[in-house]
Structure 1
């Protein structure tokens, strides 16, 4: 006859309270409201819980009771690995995590590939609010977020007017960089930009596509360039602008090659991110072009790798962006209208920009 095995049942909140001779509220407070107990009593509750195998309050039941998930959702319309691979995204993520740490709340990453329409991840996310990081204005995941009855903060893009937002003045920042190049004598330029829409386009960009870009940050940066060079007498419609869907150095290399193959006589290649600019520098080296003696190359973001390379760029406070977005979302004060935080940028005049070797000011692009 087989012997029956005695299986020890896990402790419950009630059995733990009975073992300690305290109320169930006291046990609950040890986990959820530790400030209500003396350090000695809380330590005794937690030590006894470990000895008896009590796992703590059920987080699902607690969220149902309090209607709080205890977490912020970060919507990235990229694959999850992008958040840990792209330096600007990584800096933003660090700043947001710091804000969550300060508030004692969790952080849930909600990746949504730009080539997928499924918004189930947004619907399933158990969060108290969303931070939306740099998405196009027609993204279905953004629409799904805005349907949720929770606070939302947008970082960078899109600027939709009725939602709290954190960002920079991309247009003015790029205008300042363009003026710096114009003052050096550059008129014959090319541009490499990040993706402008959700459809894949790895090629030249018309002025119409620039104006209709669903990624507002790229649209603003291109607009800043167009304004500055138009004021300097350059016909912007003749400036070669090449778009890349994927954001990596390989894309920067390929795009730079496309521009230089079309017009080897350009004196400056302006990139709308440092990652693309670093790729462009690789392509220039492959062609035997010296930077900046033969070709000026500029970027945007101010990542550490760009600083080490001496890149002329625009530094933006990516960590502070994340921290500001988190603080804005977690601020439970009265909200009567959408709030906006606009952070400052800094033009970094590195070693990759110089006056053209021959200042051919015949205004090739001019009227």
Structure 2
């Protein structure tokens, strides 16, 4: 395998010393324009990618690792609930955090390509997404530990909940309350957690039960999806939503049609996001605070920071329980954990 070019290669090609190359990389004004141009051309000719982690040390002398967290902001409130404890715990461990809002798979791969090429971080956290075995091997080769949240990544520590079982619990709860014609509002198909909740719903309600997929996870998208379901299936008497924001939109649409909740249509969401207790939404609660906290503790341990006395090669994967929280949008009281 061909080794990537170094500053020594750049210096040789440009006919300068390595100190001059270093000054160009660090943006120093102590370099003549012609020399700077020669060094930049040499970097372009050799396809040189600077190691940003090393440059941080060179220019600032700060021996503080950086962790990159990649997440798709399907639901701003969910990812904020995860990011806040992640950031707080990493700060306590003297670790910097950089957040990337990932739009799709291609965007994720471009970001990871750049991180690998530039050695832009010392640790990586992925939320609601995974990587191919080849990418995992690449990260291992350059010494960047990875932990995943809300995705069962093979070969890396992961924190998950049983989303299939959660979908079953939510659906069965509405059926236990008397629902005979349940339907589902789900989210973007690229989210594994949503697909798994769909699987749980279908296992209980049957493959013929109506489903509508929202392209985004917003209140407006939930209302539009509910309108589509109620227009096409006026006899629906229960709605399972894979996210609380979708459920809030569905609640608005149901009430706008003069139908009562839960007397005419029962409703349940997922996450137990802030203010769901005020709204009275029945939901499946997952421990979002622990998602961020576990990710921070795990990556800090792998980096030998925080409470970790030294680096370790791996940490154990964990599956956390979910909890059924019943409120005023469904007809059966009580809580059930699984």
1:34-73 matched pairs, under 5 angstroms: 60=55, 62=57, 70-73=65-68
- 2:89 matched to which residue of 1? 99
Of 329, 339, 359, 2:316 maps to 339
Distance 2:254 2:142 in 1: 48
- 2:15 matched to which residue of 1? none
Distance 2:283 2:94 in 1: 36
TM-score by structure 2 length? 0.71
Of 172, 178, 186, 1:179 maps to 172
Distance 2:140 2:165 in 1: 29
Q: Is the 8 A contact 1:289 1:295 kept in 2?
A: yes
Q: Does 1:76 align with 2:66?
A: no
Q: CA deviation at 1:108?
A: 0.5
Q: Secondary structure at the match of 1:299?
A: strand
Q: CA deviation at 1:68?
A: 6.2
Q: Does 1:191 align with 2:181?
A: no
- 1:264 matched to which residue of 2? 234
- Specify whether residues 67 and 118 from structure 1 end up closer, same or farther in structure 2 by C-alpha distance, changes over 3 A only: same
- 1:232 matched to which residue of 2? none
Of 132, 143, 156, 2:126 maps to 132
- 2:35 matched to which residue of 1? none
Bigger Rg, which one: 1
- 2:157 matched to which residue of 1? 164
- Specify whether residues 335 and 142 from structure 1 end up closer, same or farther in structure 2 by C-alpha distance, changes over 3 A only: closer
Q: CA RMSD in A?
A: 3.1
In structure 1, the gaps of 5 or more residues are 1-57, 198-214, 230-235, 356-367
Task: Give deviations 1:304-351, integer Å, cap 9, x for gaps.
Answer: 222211101011111111000111111146656662122222111010
Of 144, 154, 175, 2:148 maps to 154
Q: Secondary structure at the match of 1:93?
A: helix
- Specify whether residues 129 and 177 from structure 1 end up closer, same or farther in structure 2 by C-alpha distance, changes over 3 A only: same
Distance 1:62 1:74 in 2: 21
Distance 1:281 1:86 in 2: 19
- Specify whether residues 118 and 282 from structure 1 end up closer, same or farther in structure 2 by C-alpha distance, changes over 3 A only: same
Q: CA deviation at 1:87?
A: 1.3
Q: Secondary structure at the match of 1:259?
A: helix
- Specify whether residues 171 and 119 from structure 1 end up closer, same or farther in structure 2 by C-alpha distance, changes over 3 A only: closer
Distance 2:175 2:143 in 1: 48
TM-score by structure 1 length? 0.66
- 1:299 matched to which residue of 2? 269
Q: Is the 8 A contact 1:192 1:276 kept in 2?
A: yes
Q: Does 1:326 align with 2:296?
A: yes
> Aligned pair count?
269
Q: Does 1:350 align with 2:320?
A: no
Q: Does 1:314 align with 2:290?
A: no
Q: Is the 8 A contact 1:161 1:338 kept in 2?
A: no
Q: Is the 8 A contact 2:82 2:292 kept in 1?
A: yes
- Specify whether residues 86 and 77 from structure 1 end up closer, same or farther in structure 2 by C-alpha distance, changes over 3 A only: closer
Distance 1:321 1:117 in 2: 23
Q: Secondary structure at the match of 1:304?
A: coil
Q: Is the 8 A contact 2:139 2:145 kept in 1?
A: no
Distance 1:145 1:113 in 2: 21
Q: CA deviation at 1:117?
A: 3.9
